[in-house]
Amino acid sequence: MSLKFFKHSIPAVYGVNLVGSGVGAGLIIVLLEFLHPHTILLVICSFAVATLVIAWYELTTKYHLHLFLCIIISSIIICAIFSILHHPLNINNFKPLPQILQLPQSSVILQLSNPQSLIHVVKSPVIPYRAVAGLSLQSSAIIPDQLGMFIDANHFSAINQFTENKPDTLAFLADTSSALAYQVIKKPQQLILGLAGGSTLLQAFYHQANHIDIVEPNPLIINIFTDKLANYTGWKHLAPQTQIYNQSFRSFFLAFPDKKYDVIQLDFIDGGHIGSNIYSLAENYNYTVEAIEQYWRALTHQGVVQFTHWLDLPARSSLKLVNTIQSMLNQQGIESPGNHLVLIRSWKTLTILLSKQPLNSGIISNIIQFCHAKGFDTIYFPNITAVQTNKTNIIPHPTFHQLINETILNNKNFRLSYKFDISVTSDNKPFFNHFFKWTSINEFLSLARKGGISLIETSYLLQFLILIICIIFSTLLIILPLIFHNSHSTNTALLKSHSLAFTDYFLLIGFSFFFLEIAFIQYFVLWFDNILIAVTVTTCSFLIFSGIGSILANILINKQFSYSLLINTTVICIILSLISLQFILPLLFEWLRHSTLLTKSIIAIIIISPLTVAIGFPFATALASLGKQLDQLIPWAWSINNSASVISILLAPIIAIELGFNSLLLIAACCYLAAAYAFQKFTARLNYTKAG
């Protein structure tokens, strides 16, 4: 409505809206650093009240009346918000936290928030926690008191009580599958990726690690473990030999390229099931070929990298990870990757050990003895036989051993014929926890009564379902104006004759904008190695500089520049920018890899600003063209573009999973070229029809 009302200044109005959106996106992140999400709702509502005051002032001449009404309305809104803020945050009852709080006398004893997460620490005295991932069923060790830590009311980690410097109280941690690394290397120099509840740190302390470095991206978790609950966690006993780095995992290796470790450990760093349906669309760059190569290079001559994850049946995540590790080893020129790998499993977890050196018979003997003593099953080690597997935690067939063997043998036919996607992950196609294959869907559905539905990543199919629904409703809503608009109107007749080109243009512009934005978010996730900063920098830059581009378009249009010339020129600039950035960004990332986050942020904004300014031209320029020729169609054009925006947000993750993030850039470039052609086609036919 605003664009139609200000039809002679459409690009300027649209540009200001984009700039405001970009500033708002950045402001929310800043506010989350200092305020609770509840309080931020009040701030957001105050902006709405301010907008109301300004609008009333502009639309009325009765100053005293509008001032009085604005004060009344503002007061009502603020009072209502304050009353809401007195109530606790309503969390989805299907999340773990609300369910745990149903236990007798369980309560939240600590709550912290920042832009990354909302963390609750819960005490349950009546039904106490006894959560030890990968604990042997044969273990008789006493588990200490625990608190439950929930990240975003979902990811659970147990915080173990360690109040006295008595390592014997931690003996239960030696009975877990993740203790495998200490059978290979004694008293290691150790790196732990992810602090979580601190169990991995306590395990390293129990096994007398010489020194322990921990990398934890979330400062709240560090604060809880080393300050808020320091007496409970025993931090004063752990601190002398422990160093914690508040960094993301991959940036740590870039910042300290000379550090070498005997053991690098990644245990349950996702805070949940690696193959969970809920997170099948959440990318993870810590399990790609490039990431594992970083871990490999940080090992000492005899070092090992260890991954521990939840066991999934049928095997999916373990096969994908082993396949990725093998690909990395092949790139390092290692001809027999299987000589560097060990896999064992408990009743619930699976541990993968990657050794820098080929495993000798002495180490293998230690591993076999460890598994026999603790009741774990060996899945793979060099020269293993099927008889040596599936002895304790028995499954109907030695499936894991057979599948891992096929994977390590690099059997391409096996990978292609396997019912799940276990392909190698890379920074272009990261670890999505996605294993679904369309070729297997009929078989899964046919097994519905036997539990086959559970084998399908429901979030992935749900994404498809929502996408189809959006396409159907968008199509209907786009077509309806053509049906119900005044059929005798000249504009309607013109539109119906050229509606395809008109619709194509605004659809393509909507697709391309969000494809580019999502692709660049992923580029900067790799560079910053921090998704929050990457999203903030990319979103703010795209919105603010696109807004500036729209304002510049308004200036040039007022100087009588041709609409077609502006759109063609900016599309060419966008294509050239994308091509140049494909070469510049990798070099820039390598050159500035040791820079601070502030420096990286500034450079990122500077680098993408020319592209994002150009992106602001096509939509605003086309709307301005409509404002002069077919102003009745401005709301329709806006709705078409918004429909494309919604569809593209749903479609982009699917494209990224199937084809990789680089494909989003290519598709976006093609969309812009097609949009330029559609605009020329529409305007040419429109001018021809009017001339006729």
Select the more confidently predicted residue: 443 or 195.
195
Which range has the worst mean pLDDT, 50-64, 384-398, 482-496, 502-516?
482-496
What digits encode the pLDDT tens for the residues 588-601? Answer: 877 877 777 788 88
Number of other CB atoms surrounding residue 219 within 10 Å: 12
- If pLDDT is split at 50, 70 and 90, which confidence band does 489 have? low
Helix (H, G, I), strand (E, B) or coil at 218: coil
* Tokens encoding 220: 């709240």
Cα separations (Å) of 548 from 190, 369, 575, 620?
50, 67, 19, 11
What is the reported pLDDT for 90?
75
Query: What's the whole-number mean pLDDT along residues 617-623?
Result: 90
Write down the pTM of the prediction: 0.85
pLDDT > 50? residue 256: yes
The confidence score (pLDDT) of residue 449 equals 65
Structure tokens at 163: 């109040």
Residue (of 182, 192, 112, 124) closest to 158 by Cα position? 124
Mean per-residue pLDDT, 434-461: 73
Q: Is the pLDDT of residue 627 over 80?
A: no
Q: State the Cα–Cα distance between residues 591 and 569, nearest whole angstrom.
A: 32
CATH of span 162-430? 3.40.50.150
pLDDT exceeds 90 at position 352: yes
Contact 91, 97 (CB under 8 A): yes
Residue 433 predicted with pLDDT over 80 = no
Structure tokens at 6: 């200000």
Q: Which residues pair with 156 in a beta bridge?
A: 150
The predicted model gives 91-112 an average pLDDT of 91
Looking up tokens 């199937």 gives: 658
Tell which residue, 230, 239, 185, 234, has the closest CA to residue 209: 185
CA distance 661 to 421: 18
Asked if 555 and 44 touch (Cβ cutoff 8 Å), the reply is: no
- Render pLDDT for 103-135 as a digit per residue (tens, 0 to 9): 999 999 999 988 888 999 999 999 999 999 999
Q: What's the CA gap between 575 and 231, in Å, rounded? A: 58
Rounded distance between C-alpha atoms, residue 539 and residue 533, angstroms:
10
Residue 263 β-bridge partners: 190, 304
Bigger pLDDT: 419 or 667?
A: 667
Instruction: Please give the pLDDT value at position 2.
Output: 66
Give 496's pLDDT tier (boundaries 50, 70, 90).
low
pLDDT of residue 184: 95
Residue 529: φ, ψ to 5°:
55, 35
* Per-residue model confidence as pLDDT tens digits over 669-681: 999 999 999 888 8
Determine how many CB atoms are found less than 10 A away from the CB of residue 689.
13
Contact present, 357 and 301 (Cβ < 8 Å):
yes
**Higher-confidence position of 587 and 351:** 351
So what's the pLDDT on residue 271? 47
Task: For the chain, give the percent of residues with pLDDT over 90.
Answer: 48
Q: Are 134 and 351 in contact (CB under 8 A)?
A: yes
Residue 211 has pLDDT above 80, yes or no: yes
DSSP annotation string for 461-523: HHHHHHHHHHHHHHHHHHHHHHHHS-TT-HHHHHHHHHHHHHHHHHHHHHHHHHHHHHHHHHH
Q: Which helix (H) or strand (E) holds 380?
A: strand 377-380
pLDDT, tens digit, for every residue of 364-410?
999 999 999 999 999 999 999 989 998 898 888 778 888 888 888 77
Q: Which helix (H) or strand (E) holds 109?
A: strand 107-113
Q: Is the pLDDT of residue 277 over 60?
A: no
pLDDT at 443: 76
Instruction: Give tens-digit pLDDT for 524-577.
Output: 888 887 788 888 999 999 999 999 999 999 999 988 888 889 999 999 999 999
For residue 629, count CB atoms less than 10 angstroms from its CB and return exposed for 0-12, middle for 13-18, buried for 19 or more: middle
Does residue 14 carry a pLDDT above 70? yes
Q: What is the mean pLDDT of residues 189-216?
A: 96
By the 10 Å C-beta count (0-12 exposed, 13-18 middle, 19+ buried), 152 is classed as: middle
Of 276-285, 616-625, 673-682, minimum mean pLDDT range: 276-285
Q: Which residues pair with 342 in a beta bridge?
A: 353
Mean pLDDT computed over every residue of the chain: 85
Q: What are phi and psi of 379, to 5 degrees?
A: -105, -45
Please name the residues in contact with 351: beta carbons below 8 A apart, sequence gap of 6 or more.
Answer: 134, 177, 178, 180, 306, 307, 308, 343, 344, 345
381: DSSP letter? -
Exposure string for 346-375, b = 16+ CB within 10 A, e = fewer: bbebbbbbbbeeebeeebbeebbebbeebb
Residue whose structure tokens are 């969000």: 514
Q: Find residue 148's DSSP bridge partners.
A: 122, 158
Provide the Cα torsion 238, 242, 248, 253; round to 10°: -160
Average pLDDT over residues 190-206: 96
Residues ≥6 apart with Cβ < 8 Å to 422: 316, 319, 320, 323, 407, 415, 435
Q: How many helices (H) and strands (E) does the chain have?
A: 24, 12
pLDDT tier for residue 276 given thresholds of 50, 70 and 90: very low
What the block records as the tokens of 386 is 């099927």
**Res 408: pLDDT:** 82
Q: Where are the alpha helices (DSSP H) in 559-596?
A: 563-591
Residue written as token pair 């014997």: 168
CA 148 to chain centre: 24
Regarding predicted confidence, which is higher, 452 or 522? 522
Length of the chain: 692
Residues 6+ apart with CB under 8 A from 50: none
Q: How confident is the model at residue 416 (pLDDT cuts 50, 70, 90)?
A: confident
Contact present, 262 and 184 (Cβ < 8 Å): no
pLDDT for 274 equals 42
- What pLDDT, on the 0 to 100 scale, is given for residue 84? 58
CA distance 577 to 597: 24
For residue 403 the two structure tokens come to: 């599948």
Beta strands in 325-374 (DSSP E): 341-345, 349-355
Tell me what pLDDT residue 270 has: 47
Give me the mean pLDDT over the 63-74 stretch: 60
Dihedral sign from CA coordinates of 410, 416, 419, 423? positive
